[in-house]
Amino acid sequence: MKRSVIFDLDGTLCDTSGDLLAAANVAFADLGRDVRLDAGAPEDRATALRGARAMLRLGLGRLGDVDEGEVDAGFQPLLDAYARDIARHTVFYPGALDAVTRLREGGDAVAICTNKPEGLARQLMDALDASHHFDALLGADTLPVRKPDPRHLTETVAAVGGTPSRAVLIGDTQTDRDTAKAAGVPCILVTFGPGSNDVADLAPEALLHDYGQLEDALRLVGL
């Protein structure tokens, strides 16, 4: 049975924080709020990878108490701004696509399991001319569930004809760790994403410091 190597997207394959933060700043302006998030600030970059609402709460919280109604009001303008300019700053992490190519040339199935809405994830991969590198992509709204529900991962594995006993999830967050554990699948966490400084504390089956070491990490988790 071939291996199924499943990747998270934001913070794992790509650093998307710059474009996400830019979209958040458009949303703050739309709300008439004088605050901006900074792509050079580690806290802001890490928060970007936790999603639109997390960014809105972070910025609004710097002005005072956060009104969840205002977070709701800023959500769609943020997504709209992101969709308009989705890949100005986003790049794959060094060696990521080379690693994906090696996996596929070796007969492995490779897919993306992301909590980014599927439409935006596909738009981003198209903008980066990378869609053809992946055998499947399941986003936050592809199924009725999303990570950390294990079905998001197991359905991604099924979409590439794999089985959980020969699968691994590569991610960068507690959500990825919890998803893999619930699915009975080993987890490799990257250490180079904006929010990945303490991932060793999450006790994944392996850590990945550089995509050139991916095969070593796969052997470490038994694949």
Kindly state the tokens that stand for 62.
Answer: 């710097």
Answer whether 184's CB lies under 8 Å from 174's CB: no
- Beta strand extents in 1-100 (DSSP E only): 4-7, 14-15, 91-92
User: Could you list the residue range(s) of the whole structural domain that residue 76 is in?
Assistant: 17-84
Residue whose C-alpha is closest to residue 62's, from 36, 25, 90? 36
CA distance linking residue 172 with residue 199, whole number of Å? 7
CATH of the domain at 133: 3.40.50.1000
Are 120 and 211 members of one domain?
A: yes
User: One of 8, 15, 108, 135 is an active-site residue; which one?
Assistant: 8
- 120 residue type, one letter: L
- 223 residue type, one letter: L
Are 149 and 73 members of one domain?
A: no
Q: What is the pLDDT of residue 127?
A: 98
Residue 141 appears among annotated catalytic residues: no
CB-based burial label for 11 (10 Å; 0-12, 13-18, 19+): buried
Are 110 and 207 members of one domain?
A: yes
Are 108 and 159 members of one domain?
A: yes
Are 72 and 109 members of one domain?
A: no
Task: Output DSSP code: residue 40.
Answer: T
The residue among 66, 84, 102 that closes a domain is 84
Are 103 and 137 members of one domain?
A: yes
Please report, in tens digits, the pLDDT of each residue of the chain (223 residues total): 789 999 999 999 999 999 999 999 999 999 999 999 999 999 999 999 888 999 999 999 999 999 999 999 999 999 999 999 999 999 999 999 999 999 999 999 999 999 999 999 999 999 999 999 999 999 999 999 999 999 999 999 999 999 999 999 999 999 999 999 999 999 999 999 876 668 999 999 999 999 999 999 999 999 9
Q: How many residues does the chain have?
A: 223
Q: What is the pLDDT of residue 190?
A: 96
Task: Write the CB contacts of 80 (distance below 8 Å, at least 6 apart in sequence).
Answer: none
Q: What is the pLDDT of residue 198?
A: 82
- 31 residue type, one letter: L
Are 125 and 176 members of one domain?
A: yes
CA distance linking residue 84 with residue 65, whole number of Å? 30
- 13 residue type, one letter: L
Specify the number of domains making up the chain.
2
Are 106 and 205 members of one domain?
A: yes
Claim: this prediction has a pTM higher than 0.85: yes
Q: What is the pLDDT of residue 195?
A: 66
| C-alpha neighbours within 13 Å on the C-beta side of residue 90 | 29
Q: What is the pLDDT of residue 155?
A: 98
Question: Residue 89, SS3?
Answer: coil
